[in-house]
Structure 1
Amino acid sequence: MKNFDLKHLIAAALIAAAYAVITIIFAPISYGPMQVRISEALTVLPYITPVAIPGLFVGCIISNIFGGYGIHDVVFGSLATLVAAYLTYKMPKRILAPLPPVIINGLVIGWMLHFLLNVPLFSTIMYVAVGEFIACYALGYPLLLILERFRSAGF
């Protein structure tokens, strides 16, 4: 992004705050081997604007500080979100926009939880990926459609 000005910084900060607040409010289902992190619906935002990439990354860092899995989650979970957000930004078609968080978080978070909690790897990857699919496609994709409609209307 060429010109990251105050307006972009504020937008990124608002996305970070929204991600963190939603994750923490829904903490019982936001963390663990079986999770549906509602805030992951916001991971479609990089498809619309690259400003969302740092916002999601910072929001995830804040959320993972409160998650109880320590530095592993803060580092690996947040980096997974950063990579997924960048890949979402690069997606060629709208229907594919929610896919990077499903795949990246399924693999990275699934592996991390397997390592930290000594739970079966494949099932943990699948549980996380299914939770991501619910958040990203059932919640995030409709959000993306609504935001695109607003954008095309001039908002």
Structure 2
Amino acid sequence: MNKKTIFITQAAVIAALYTVLVLVFQFSSFGPIQFRVAEALTILPYFTPAAIPGVAIGCFLSAILSGADVLDIVFGSLATLFAALLSYQLRRSKFLVPIPPILVNALVIPFVLKYAYFEADPVPLMMLTVGAGQLFAAGILGMVLLFGLDKVKHVIFKNN
């Protein structure tokens, strides 16, 4: 297979996984206190640039399919895209890869919650709660995934 086909296939699989994980764990994926299991996939730019559009498209699709507000669809997806780009830039140090999704979401999503859903909690408090959820999902669960995949990356990501 050529590299373009592999890139598109990997991005599509990542988008599908992200979407399914958000929908299956929908009960904990939204709101000011959220633990989005799919955010563990935001470490995948460490392995492949195809994860950049993969997680962004997955975030976009899951927001649409779950009936999210248009501000959430747009800014949540852009936050995920921006964080994935930054994670890819930090891929030389595996321990830095989960930091962009944690910080970008902690800074952006509280404003989405406030202006799209009229959440009553103050933005600084939601920065802490969203950041904490991201710390567990992307930071801890994501790093467990990263170290697990790192052992088999030669098989899964051999054409990157």
TM above 0.5, yes or no, is yes
Normalised by the length of structure 2, the TM-score is 0.90
Contact 2:33 2:126 in 1 (8 A): yes
Task: Give CA-to-partner distance per residue, 1:13-59, whole Å, 9 cap, x none.
Answer: 00000000000100010011100000000000001111100011110
Task: Please identify which structure carries the higher helix content.
Answer: 1
Alpha-carbon offset, residue 12 of structure 1: 0.5
Offset of residue 138 of structure 1: 1.6
SS of residue paired to 1:95? coil
Under a length normalisation based on structure 1, what TM-score does the superposition of the two structures give? 0.92
User: Equivalences for 1:91-102 in 2 at 5 Å?
Assistant: 91=90, 92-102=92-102
CA contact (8 A) 2:47 2:153 kept: no
- Equivalent position SS for 1:49: coil
Whole-Å separation in 1 of the counterparts to 2:139 and 2:8? 27
Residue 6 of structure 1: CA displacement? 1.2
Helix, strand or coil at the partner of 2:95: helix
Match of 2:148 in 1: 146
**2:29 partner letter:** S
Partner in structure 1 of residue 21 of structure 2: 22
Q: Deviation of residue 152 (structure 1)?
A: 5.0
The residue number in structure 1 matching 2:43 is 44
Distance apart, 1:119 and its partner CA? 2.2
Percent identical: 41
| Paired residue type of 1:112 | V
Residue in structure 1 matching 2:131, options 125, 129, 132: 129
Query: Which runs of structure 2 are paired with 1:58-97 in the superposition (5 Å)?
Result: 58-91=57-90, 92-97=92-97
* Structure 1 position 7 matched with structure 2 position 9: no
| 1:75-105 deviations in Å (ceiling 9; x for gaps) | 0000000000000001141111101000000
How many residues are treated as equivalent by the alignment? Answer: 153
Structure 2: 5+ residue stretches without partners = none
